[in-house]
Amino acid sequence: MQIHSSVGPSHQTVRLSKLSSASIWKQAEELHILWPASPPTHGLVAESCDGPPDIDAILLPLDDAFETRLDAARRFWRALNGRPPGRAYGALPQQTKVRHILNLRAHDARRAGATYRRIAEVLLSRGSIAPRDWRDHHLRHKVRAILRRADRLVAGGYRDLLFYPHSRSQKSRR
């Protein structure tokens, strides 16, 4: 089914025959298209039609993944127009990535038998921490907090990363 739109002079029909190196095949009643445009590969599924396979519009279901689908459509549009894809919706911020790496390094160190003090010295401090200072050291509490977060990640919390940022909205509903 083709949807013809008259939204304005900027409207353009995408001729699939013009997409360089696109792989197109029919499966059941659907037309599948894989188009490797620079780094990302765009996967499209369209209803099969008798005429030439052209794209006039993109229909997106209004479901929980709408924002992700909308971003994929935006990135596809940018690739069609020769523009860089831009930052992906839901990409983890750099600071969050660094924090998760630190959590998992601390978890690995503890599983390898390192003491909390040694973990603090290696991962958080530039120097050694004297045993007499460790009891009241500010890094002692920080290491414990890091290891609690690591335990949550290892116990299944890492799955939330697969659905980020959707996992955050799910937490508020609980």
pLDDT tens, position by position, for the chain (174 residues)?
Answer: 455 555 566 666 776 666 667 777 677 777 777 777 656 666 666 666 665 566 767 778 888 878 888 888 888 878 777 788 777 777 788 899 999 999 999 999 999 999 999 999 999 988 899 999 999 999 999 999 999 999 999 998 888 777 777 655 454 444
pLDDT for residue 174: 44
Strand-pairing partners, residue 55, are 14
pLDDT for residue 11: 65
Phi, psi of 150 (to 5 degrees): -65, -40
**CA pair distance 45, 16, nearest whole angstrom:** 12
Polymer length of the chain: 174
What is the SS3 assignment for 95? helix
Cβ atoms of residues 5 and 54 within 8 Å: no
pTM above 0.75, yes or no: no
